[in-house]
């Protein structure tokens, strides 16, 4: 049976105030994924958190348009790069979250995509646990799935993509991660979705080719996924070096390896009139 809307409830977002969402208790931290960019892709719990927090500590990757959804008076604190100085240290961010919570604030730690997908959410939670701060995780749509959808690429498909590997293209020091078994990864899955991979892309392509991946395998680079300035470029694994030499890739970008790229020709729904809608 179709679910009926609550009779008499106000339409739209105002309704959330009367919904039984969890209470954001003073002195607690909510680690929330804002989604890949388009505000429409945030969850209702994310919206609820924006409406009930005292302070939002946000990352560079969070679309500023999402911060417009806080209630008036909420304090916004940036935890990314400041005026050209290096990124705030991860430890400093965790300590700041603890300090704010201990001061009795409702602390919303807002991250791009999903907080546990290459987002250091786990590390921040470890610090909160140690300090005895109560916390909640609100998952978000990760760029490596939502971004692909906006480029017309289904992450899985029964005909072509029966498994997906998510990996990061750089480690804590910015180098190509040494603890990824590139030889094994190269042929393990028809789809490899790479985060933070632009800087080391030439080396990564070499490692995958050395591991036996087909040089003809398509590479799709999705920049500013889900946003009006989204761009999608395509090349082949064996041609990555010349592709990179010819252009500067816009970041943030997700790099997708695999024949999944072929779906784009028929499923590319976003880059047209729809991109004019700021909520995505």
Radius of gyration of the chain (CA): 20
Give 113 or 152: the residue with its C-beta nearer to ligand SAH. Answer: 113
Q: How far is the CB of 53 from ligand SAH (least distance, A)?
A: 19
| 8 class by beta-carbon count within 10 Å (0-12 exposed, 13-18 middle, 19+ buried) | exposed
What span, in angstroms and rounded, lies between the C-alpha atoms of 64 and 70? Answer: 11
Task: Give whichever of 105 and 194 is closer to ligand SAH, judged by the CB atom.
Answer: 194
Q: What angle do helix axes 90-102 and 121-131 make, rounded to 10 degrees? A: 40
Give the active site residues.
59, 81, 196
Write out the two tokens for 247.
């252009």
Task: Give the span between the Cα atoms of 16 and 76, in whole angstroms.
Answer: 22
Shortest CB 193 distance to ligand SAH, Å: 9
Q: What is the DSSP string of 15-49?
A: GGGGS-PPP--TT-EEEEE-BSS-GGGS-HHHHHH
Find the shortest distance in angstroms from Cβ 209 to ligand SAH.
21
The string of DSSP codes covering 65-93 is HHHTTSPTT-EEEE-S--TTSPPPPHHHH
In angstroms, give the least distance from the CB of 147 to ligand SAH.
5
Residues that bind ligand SAH (CB under 6 A): 36-37, 61, 111-114, 117-119, 142-143, 147, 195-196, 222-226, 252-254
Q: Which residue is nearest to ligand SAH (CB)?
A: 113
Q: Which residue shows structure tokens 């490899």?
A: 192
């Amino acid at each position: 049976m179709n679910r009926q809307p609550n009779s008499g409830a106000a339409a739209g977002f105002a309704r959330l105030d009367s919904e039984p969402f969890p209470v954001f208790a003073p002195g607690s931290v909510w680690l929330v994924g804002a989604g890949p960019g388009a505000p429409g892709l945030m969850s209702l719990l994310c919206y609820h958190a924006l409406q009930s927090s005292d302070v939002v500590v946000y990352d560079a990757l969070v679309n500023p348009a999402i911060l417009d959804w806080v209630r008036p008076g909420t304090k916004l604190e940036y935890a990314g790069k400041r005026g050209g100085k290096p990124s705030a240290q991860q430890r400093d961010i965790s300590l700041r979250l603890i300090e704010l919570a201990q001061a009795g604030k409702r602390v919303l730690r807002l991250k791009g995509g999903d907080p546990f997908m290459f987002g250091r959410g786990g590390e921040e939670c470890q610090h909160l646990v140690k300090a005895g701060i109560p916390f909640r995780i609100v998952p978000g749509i990760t760029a490596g799935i939502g971004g692909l959808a906006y480029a017309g690429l289904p992450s899985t498909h029964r005909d072509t993509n029966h498994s997906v590997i998510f990996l990061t293209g750089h480690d804590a020091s910015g180098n190509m991660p040494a603890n990824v078994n590139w030889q094994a990864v190269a042929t393990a899955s028809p789809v490899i979705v790479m985060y933070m991979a632009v800087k080391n892309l030439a080396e990564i392509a070499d490692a995958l080719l050395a591991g036996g991946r087909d040089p003809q395998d398509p590479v799709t680079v999705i920049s500013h996924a889900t946003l009006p300035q989204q761009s999608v470029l395509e090349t082949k694994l064996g041609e990555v070096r010349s592709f990179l030499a010819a252009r500067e890739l816009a970041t943030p970008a997700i790099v997708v390896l695999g024949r999944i790229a072929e779906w784009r020709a028929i499923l590319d729904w976003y880059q047209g009139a729809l991109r004019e809608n700021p909520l995505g």
